[in-house]
Amino acid sequence: MGDAKAHHQESFQSRYISGHFRKFQRIILGCLIAKLPVRKVCIQIVTWKWFDRFIVACVIFNTIILALTDYTNAWAEGPNATIWINSFNDMCNSVSFYIFLIEALVKIVAMGFCFGQGAYLSDGWNRFDFLIVISGLLSIMNIKGIKVSFIRVLRVMRPLRTLHSVPGLKILTNSLLASLPALANVFVLLMFCMLIFGILGMEIYRGAYHFRCRITPFPVSYIDLVQATPEQYMCLLPDGTQIDQNIDVWDTPQDCFWPIDASETIPLVCNEQAGVGRQCEAPGTVCGSNFDEALPEQADVNQNHSPWRHCNSVGIWTNPPYIS
């Protein structure tokens, strides 16, 4: 018993923190012992109460910065760099990444990486933090063949770090995750309701809801031959009704599309009623729509619910962007 106890004491170094003992491995990464000055400093930093508070403050600040990004006039590869707030946000995101990187390195030196009791990756929340750090590294390295835009999307997970930094939020989050299996039936019921609303939207709002500025006043078969005389290539009549078979301009079915005005600075929802809501800016463009497929409309139920409810409740038309 004595030998086992002595071996246990040699394997770990304990430090009393906030009313409980936190154990650190005696040797990590195969060479770093607990008495090594560098590791002793890292252990002191990790166990310092203001260390976690500083990281939480950085996460909250980074969350606010991410929310302030202006995408109203964006380039294809990202935000418009000429907008000062976006340049400031990019700089702050870079600083935040290096802070999170240093945090991960300090914890790895203090706790060990992935092997042994109390190692950094033995905790699920630390694995989540490590994923965010790795995504940031890949974004900075700009490795060929890896889409940087997709990696940058992972930055939105940074605010989730507050969930395990605040004790109360951590308890609530763990309870919520534990209840997910029991919510499977509720999720199925919710998806069924969304499907029903999608079908209702298709039947009620088809051809009359999410309008966009079009180059022609009606759908056409192809753009090259219709710019001069679009009336010769109509798929639908101007009032939105389908062309009768007796007056069809084609002998055989052809693909049909309704070209969108690509010159719009910001593609937003328009309104076909004159003087109401947003009107098409470019001369010669008209406001047109379709609402004729069930699955896209099921997504539109979720996408447009808030702005549509706002429009109906306060009488002010909001502009849901990028609806085609």
Listed residues 175, 194, 222: the one ending a domain: 175
The verdict on 133 and 282 lying in the same domain is: no
The verdict on 21 and 142 lying in the same domain is: yes
Q: What is the C-alpha separation between 144 and 152, in angstroms, rounded?
A: 15
At residue 94, the pLDDT reads 84
For residue 53, is it within any domain?
yes
Listed residues 175, 194, 223: the one ending a domain: 175
Write the burial class of residue 65 (CB in 10 Å: 0-12 exposed, 13-18 middle, 19+ buried).
buried
Nearest CA among 141, 43, 61 for reference residue 100: 61
The verdict on 61 and 143 lying in the same domain is: yes
For residue 86, is it within any domain?
yes
Give the global pTM: 0.48
The verdict on 15 and 149 lying in the same domain is: yes
How many domains in the chain?
A: 2
Bridge partners of residue 321, in order along the sequence? 268
The verdict on 18 and 58 lying in the same domain is: yes
At residue 26, the pLDDT reads 72
For residue 107, the enclosing domain spans 10-175
For residue 84, is it within any domain?
yes
The verdict on 161 and 204 lying in the same domain is: no
The verdict on 167 and 187 lying in the same domain is: no
Looking up residue 42, the CATH number of its domain turns out to be 1.20.120.350
For residue 324, is it within any domain?
no
Q: What is the C-alpha separation between 125 and 133, in angstroms, rounded?
A: 13
At residue 74, the pLDDT reads 43
Total residue length of the chain: 324
Token code pair at residue 309: 């409810």
The verdict on 122 and 22 lying in the same domain is: yes
For residue 5, is it within any domain?
no
The verdict on 71 and 21 lying in the same domain is: yes
For residue 321, is it within any domain?
no
The verdict on 214 and 154 lying in the same domain is: no
Alpha-helical runs (H) found in 143-293: 148-153, 162-165, 167-179, 184-205
Listed residues 175, 199, 219: the one ending a domain: 175
| pLDDT tens, N- to C-terminus, the chain (324 residues) | 445 554 444 444 555 444 444 567 777 776 767 677 888 888 888 888 888 888 888 888 888 887 777 766 544 344 455 677 777 888 888 888 898 889 888 888 888 887 777 788 887 778 888 888 888 787 777 666 665 555 566 666 666 666 666 677 778 877 888 888 888 888 899 999 988 988 887 777 666 555 667 776 766 556 666 666 767 666 655 554 555 555 555 545 556 666 667 677 666 667 666 666 667 766 666 666 544 444 444 444 444 443 333 333 333 333 333 333
Nearest CA among 128, 127, 125 for reference residue 154: 128
The answer to whether 292 and 202 are in contact (CB under 8 A) is: yes
Place of tokens 């770990």: 12
The verdict on 217 and 255 lying in the same domain is: yes
At residue 310, the pLDDT reads 32
The answer to whether 287 and 214 are in contact (CB under 8 A) is: yes
The answer to whether 213 and 281 are in contact (CB under 8 A) is: yes
DSSP 26-40: SEETTTEETTSHHHH
